[in-house]
Structure 1
C-alpha cells in the first residue's frame, strides 16, 4: 500500500469534517422553518441551540474518542465514526421535527470528534521533524473544507433544503469505503494502553496531560488562540453587514478568500517557516500576525482594505501547526490520541463560549444606547485574549 494513501484519507476526512457545518449552513434557516413552522427569528434561536449542542458534544467526546483510539486503534475508531456520521446525515435529510434535527446534531458532534483521532494518526506516521509539516496538512484540509462547504451547500440548496444532507452522507460513506481499503493500523502492542474513564472525561484528560512538564502553559496558549479566532465564524456576517454594508454574496466571497489563504499557508508555508524560524519562532510569528490582524479588524472601515489584508491575515495560521508539533513532542507515543482529544475539547469549548461572548459584545456596542459605536469591539476583545496567549508563550522555557 502506498504510504501517501493513508495521508490522503486523513486529509479527506478532515476536509469532510470541516465541510460538515458549512455544507448545511445555507439551508438550515429554511429547514428549521419547515420542521418547526416558526418564523425566521425562531429559526435563528434554534440554529444557535443546534450549533451549541454540536460543539458541546465535540467537547465532551473529543477525549473519549482519542482514548478509544489509543486502546483499540485509529482505524476502527475512524471507520466506525465515519459510518455513523453517514447514517446521521441520512436521518437529518429525512427529519420531520426539530427534535430529530437536534438529535442529529448531537450525534454529529460526537462523530465529528474524529479530528482528534485523525491528528493522532498523523502523529503516529510522522517522524519528529515531519510533525509540524503534516499537522500543517491537516490545517490545510480544514481550510479546503471551510472554502468548499458553503459553496457546495449554496449550490445544492437549489435542489431543496434536504439536498446538502444527502450529498454529505454520500461523501462520508465514500470516504469510509476509501479508509476501509487504504488505512493501516498504527497502534501497536508497544504503544497500546488500557482505556481509562479518568483520562477520557474532558477535565480528567486535561489534568492527566498537564502533569507533563510545560504542557499546561502550552494548552492555555492553544485555548486562548482558539477562543480569539472563533470571533470570525461568530460575528463575521453581522460585522461585515453593519460596518461594511456587504451583501450575503460578498460575505461568502470573503470567507472563501480567507479559507483559501488559510489552506495555502498551512499547506505550503509551514515547513519553510519551521526551517527558517524554528518551531518557537514560527509560533511567535503566527501569533503576532494574528494579534495585529484582530486589532486591524477592530478599527477598519473599508471593505477594500479588509480584502487586501486577507493574504497577510492568513499568515497567522502558521503558528498552530508548530505549537501542535511542540506539544506532540512532549507527549509519549502511547498518549498521542489523548493529547489530540484534549485539543479537540479545548477547540469545542472555545466554540461554545466564543459565540456567546462575541455576539453579546457586538450587540452591546451597536445598539442605539451604546456608549460608543464600535462594531469591531469583538475583534478588540479577541486581540486582548490572544495577547494573553502570546504573553504566556513568551514565558515558556526557551528550548522548545
Structure 2
C-alpha cells in the first residue's frame, strides 16, 4: 500500500459515519409504517428518494473532488448527513421524513469521493484491497449500527435519530482534524462540467473498454439487492412477525459476514484468483440468497439465507469497484467512480420503488424473486462478455 496511514484514517471516517447510517436503516420501514401510517409503496418512495439524491449529486461531488480535493467534500457531506438525522428525529409527517432522506442522500454522495480517495492512495495492484476497506467499513457499520439502533429504539425512534446524528458528527470531527488531502494533483481543467446530469459524459464513460460493461453489471447487481431495502424489514415485520430487534440482528449478520468476506477473503484472494471467477462465484451466491429469502420459514432459516446472500455481495461489490477503477484513466478516477456510484444510486431508486410496489400488489415474495432473476442476467453477461486480463 502506498499510504497505509491515510487508508486507516479514511476507513475509520467511513466506519463512524456508517454506524449512524446503520442505526436508522432497519428502523425506517417500521417507523414509517407504525408511527406515520405510510403505505408499503410510500415506504419504497422514502427509501428511493435517498438514492435519487445520490444519483443526481454523486457525479457533481466526484468531479468537484477532482477539482478542489477530496477532504472538503467529505467533511461537508458528513455535516449534511448529521443534519438530516436531526430532522428525522422531529419527523411527524411523510413530508418531513421525505425531506430528511433527501438531505441524507446528498450527504451520502461522500462514498464515491471516499472511493476516489482510496484510488489516490493505492497502486492498481492494491486497488481491490483498498476498495474492500469500504466494504469492511459498511459491514462493521451494519454490525454495530443496527444493534445500537435496536437498543435506542426502545426509548423512542427520535432517540435513534439523535444517535445517528452523533455518529455522523463524530465522523466529521475525525475527518476534519485527521484526514489528509489525497488529491495533491487537483485538476485545473476549467472545462470540467458540473451539470446535474451530464448525459454526454455518462455516454463517454460507458464507451470506455470494459469500464462500460462493469458499470452496467454493477447497476444490475445494485438494483437486485435494492429490492430488499424497504421490503426486507417489512417481510420480517409483516410475514415472519419479527421484532425491530430481530430485524436489527439480521442486518447485523449481513454486516458481520460482509466484514469477514471483504476483510479477509477478498484481501487474500486479490491477485491470486482471477477477478472474473470472483464475479461469477459472487453472482451465483447472491442469486441463491435473494431467491431463498421469502422461503426462510423462521428467524434461523432467514439468518442462514442472509449469510449466503452476504457472502455473494461481499465478493461482488469490491471486486467490480476495483475493476472499474483499474481500467479507468488516473486523472478521471473521481469522475468515473462518481458516475458509477450515480448510476448505482439510480438502481437504488428503481429497486425500492419496484420492491415496494411488487410487495404491496404482487406478494411478499415478488421483490426477492425479481432480484434473483436480474442477478442471473448478471451471471450470463459476466460469463459471456467480461474479460479482466
TM-score bracket relative to the smaller structure:
0.7 to 0.9
2:339 corresponds in structure 1 to: 342
Query: Deviations 1:163-218 (Å, cap 9, x if unpaired)?
Result: 23333333222222222222222223375544633676263442131131122211
CA contact (8 A) 1:67 1:200 kept: no
Deviation at 1:286, TM superposition (A): 1.0
1:85 paired with 2:81, answer yes
2:228 partner SS: helix
Runs (5+) with no aligned partner, structure 1: 367-374
Aligned residues: 387
Query: Deviations 1:217-269 (Å, cap 9, x if unpaired)?
Result: 11111111001112332322333456545444333322221221112111111
Q: 1:3 to 1:50 in 2, by over 3 A?
A: same
1:396 corresponds in structure 2 to: 385
- The range that moved more, 46-55 or 220-229, is 46-55
2:124 corresponds in structure 1 to: 128
Q: 2:327 aligns with which of 327, 330, 341?
A: 330
1:24 paired with 2:18, answer no
2:366 corresponds in structure 1 to: 377
2:184 corresponds in structure 1 to: 188
Deviation at 1:110, TM superposition (A): 0.8
Query: Deviations 1:356-388 (Å, cap 9, x if unpaired)?
Result: 22233333444xxxxxxxx43332221110111
2:213 corresponds in structure 1 to: 217
Q: Where in structure 2 are the equivalents of 1:114-125 lying within 5 Å?
A: 114-125=110-121
CA contact (8 A) 2:59 2:339 kept: yes
Instruction: Give the TM-score of the pair, scaled to structure 1.
Output: 0.85
- The range that moved more, 43-52 or 176-185, is 43-52
Runs (5+) with no aligned partner, structure 2: none
**Rg larger in 1 or in 2?**
1
2:278 corresponds in structure 1 to: 282
Structure 2 distance, partners of 1:252, 1:47, is: 18
Structure 2 distance, partners of 1:397, 1:355, is: 28
Q: 1:227 to 1:25 in 2, by over 3 A?
A: closer
Q: Where in structure 2 are the equivalents of 1:60-209 lying within 5 Å?
A: 60-93=56-89, 99-189=95-185, 193-194=189-190, 196-197=192-193, 201=197, 203-209=199-205
Q: 1:31 to 1:253 in 2, by over 3 A?
A: closer
Deviation at 1:25, TM superposition (A): 4.7
CA contact (8 A) 1:202 1:342 kept: no
Q: 2:310 aligns with which of 302, 314, 323?
A: 314
1:337 partner SS: helix
2:182 partner SS: coil
**What RMSD in Å do the two structures reach over aligned CA positions?**
3.0
1:336 partner SS: helix
